[in-house]
Amino acid sequence: MHLSTLTFITMLLSQAHLAYADDVFDLSLEELQNIKVSVASLFEDTPLDVASSTAVLYQRDWQNRGTSTLGHTLEAVPSVFASSTWGGSEVLAIRGYATELSVRGISYSMNGIPLSTYTYANTGYAIPRMPLSLMQQVEMIRGPGSALYGSDAFHGVLAFELANEPASSSIGQVQMGKQKQQASLLNSHISSDLNLNWGLAYEDEGHYDSPYTYTDPSSGASKNSERDQSTKNISAYLTASSGEVSDTGKWSALFFFNEFDAREYQGIGRQFFVPLANVFDIQSTSLSQNTDSTDSDSRFILAGVTHEKALSYDLELKNQIYFWQSEHLWTFDNRGYPDSLTTLGGTTLPCKQNENSTSPNPLYCAHIRTQQDNEQRLGYQVQIKQKHEGSNTQWALGAGYDEIKITDSRFERRDLNDDLMIGYDNAFKGDTRYLGHILGQARSGFHNNQWLLSYGFRWDNYSDADDHFSPRIGLVHKINPQWRQKLLYGHAYRAPTALELKGSSASVLGNENLKPEIIDTYEYILMYQQDNLQLETVLFASEWQDAISLVPVSSASSTNRYQNIKDNHAQGLEVSLRNTYLDWFMQGNISYVESENKSDKLDYQAFPKVMLSMNVERHLSESVSLGLWYRHMQDYALGDDAVLFSDRDEQYHRFDVYGGYQVLPDTKIGFNVFNLFDQALPLPSYYGSENGWQDAGRQINLQFQQRF
Strand order in the sheet with 135-142: 54-58, 135-142, 156-162, 106-110, 113-114
Q: What is the β-pairing status of strands 650-664 and 667-674?
A: antiparallel
Of 256-265, 594-603, 693-702, which has the strongest mean pLDDT?
256-265
The Cα-based distances of 327 to 85, 123, 266, 427 in angstroms read 18, 12, 21, 18
Terminal alpha carbon distance of the chain: 45
- Residue 71: phi and psi, rounded to 5, are -60, -45
Share of the chain above pLDDT 90, in %: 63
Q: What is the dihedral of CA 612, 618, 624, 628, to 10 degrees?
A: -20
Q: How confident is the model over 622-635, as a mean pLDDT?
A: 96
Structure confidence by residue, pLDDT tens digits, 246-299: 878 999 999 999 999 999 999 988 888 888 888 889 999 999 999 999 999 999
Higher local confidence (pLDDT), 538 or 643: 538
The per-residue b/e assignment along 402-437, b for 16 or more CB within 10 angstroms, e otherwise, is bebbbeebebbbbeeeeeebbeeebbbbebebebeb
Residues 6+ apart with CB under 8 A from 285: 217, 270, 273, 274, 276, 277, 688
Residue 175 · residue 182 · CB < 8 Å: yes
Name residue 522's beta-bridge partners.
489, 541
The least confident of 343-347, 647-651, 680-684 is 343-347
Structure confidence by residue, pLDDT tens digits, 416-448: 899 888 889 999 999 999 999 999 999 999 988
Q: How confident is the model over 375-383, as a mean pLDDT?
A: 97
In 3D, which of 501, 354, 358, 338 has the Cα closest to residue 431? 501
Pairwise CA distance, residues 537 & 483, whole Å: 12
Higher local confidence (pLDDT), 702 or 359: 702
Structure confidence by residue, pLDDT tens digits, 454-464: 999 999 999 99
- CATH code of the region 2-707: 2.40.170.20
Residue 490 · residue 145 · CB < 8 Å: yes
Pairwise CA distance, residues 207 & 228, whole Å: 6
Judge residue 488's burial from the number of C-beta atoms within 10 Å of its C-beta, 0-12 exposed, 13-18 middle, 19 or more buried.
buried
Please give the single-letter amino acid code of residue 373. Answer: D
Pairwise CA distance, residues 57 & 253, whole Å: 24
Question: How many CB atoms within 10 Å of residue 143?
Answer: 28
Structure confidence by residue, pLDDT tens digits, 144-189: 999 999 998 999 999 999 999 888 999 999 999 988 899 999 999 9
Residues 6+ apart with CB under 8 A from 107: 114, 116, 145, 149, 150, 152, 153, 154, 156, 157, 158
Structure confidence by residue, pLDDT tens digits, 6-63: 444 334 333 333 332 333 334 454 555 556 777 778 887 788 888 889 999 988 889 8
Residue 577 · residue 558 · CB < 8 Å: no
The Cα-based distances of 17 to 14, 68, 529, 533, 580 in angstroms read 9, 36, 15, 11, 10
Q: How confident is the model over 644-662, as a mean pLDDT?
A: 94
What is the secondary structure of 373-393 as a DSSP string? EEEEEEEEEEEEEE-S-BTTE
Please give the single-letter amino acid code of residue 567. Answer: D
In 3D, which of 299, 324, 432 has the Cα closest to residue 378? 324
Using only C-alpha atoms, the chain has a radius of gyration, in whole angstroms, of: 25
- C-alpha atoms less than 13 angstroms from C-alpha of 691 in its C-beta half-sphere: 16
| Confidence (pLDDT) at 553 | 77
Pairwise CA distance, residues 534 & 589, whole Å: 12
The least confident of 453-457, 477-481, 506-510 is 506-510
Q: What is the β-pairing status of strands 195-215 and 222-243?
A: antiparallel
Pairwise CA distance, residues 164 & 463, whole Å: 37
Q: How confident is the model over 293-312, as a mean pLDDT?
A: 95
Q: Cα–chain-centroid distance for residue 606? A: 16
90: left (phi over 0), alpha (psi -120 to 50) or beta: beta
Q: Is the dihedral of CA 580, 581, 584, 589 positive or negative?
A: negative
- Average pLDDT over all residues of the chain: 88
Q: Is the dihedral of CA 399, 146, 488, 91 positive or negative?
A: negative
| Confidence (pLDDT) at 362 | 52
| Confidence (pLDDT) at 431 | 96
Share of the chain above pLDDT 70, in %: 92
- Residue 550: phi and psi, rounded to 5, are -95, 110
Question: How many CB atoms within 10 Å of residue 316?
Answer: 17
Question: How many CB atoms within 10 Å of residue 227?
Answer: 24
Please give the single-letter amino acid code of residue 59. Answer: Q
Residue 376 · residue 405 · CB < 8 Å: yes
| Confidence (pLDDT) at 390 | 57
Q: Where are the domains of the chain?
A: 2-707
The per-residue b/e assignment along 281-315, b for 16 or more CB within 10 angstroms, e otherwise, is ebebbbbbbbbbbbbbbbbbebbbebbbbbeeeeb
Name residue 166's beta-bridge partners.
none
| Confidence (pLDDT) at 489 | 97
| Confidence (pLDDT) at 496 | 94
DSSP state, 5?
H
Residue 675 · residue 655 · CB < 8 Å: yes
The per-residue b/e assignment along 634-656, b for 16 or more CB within 10 angstroms, e otherwise, is bbbbbbbbeebbeebebebbbbb
Judge residue 178's burial from the number of C-beta atoms within 10 Å of its C-beta, 0-12 exposed, 13-18 middle, 19 or more buried.
exposed
Question: How many CB atoms within 10 Å of residue 680?
Answer: 10
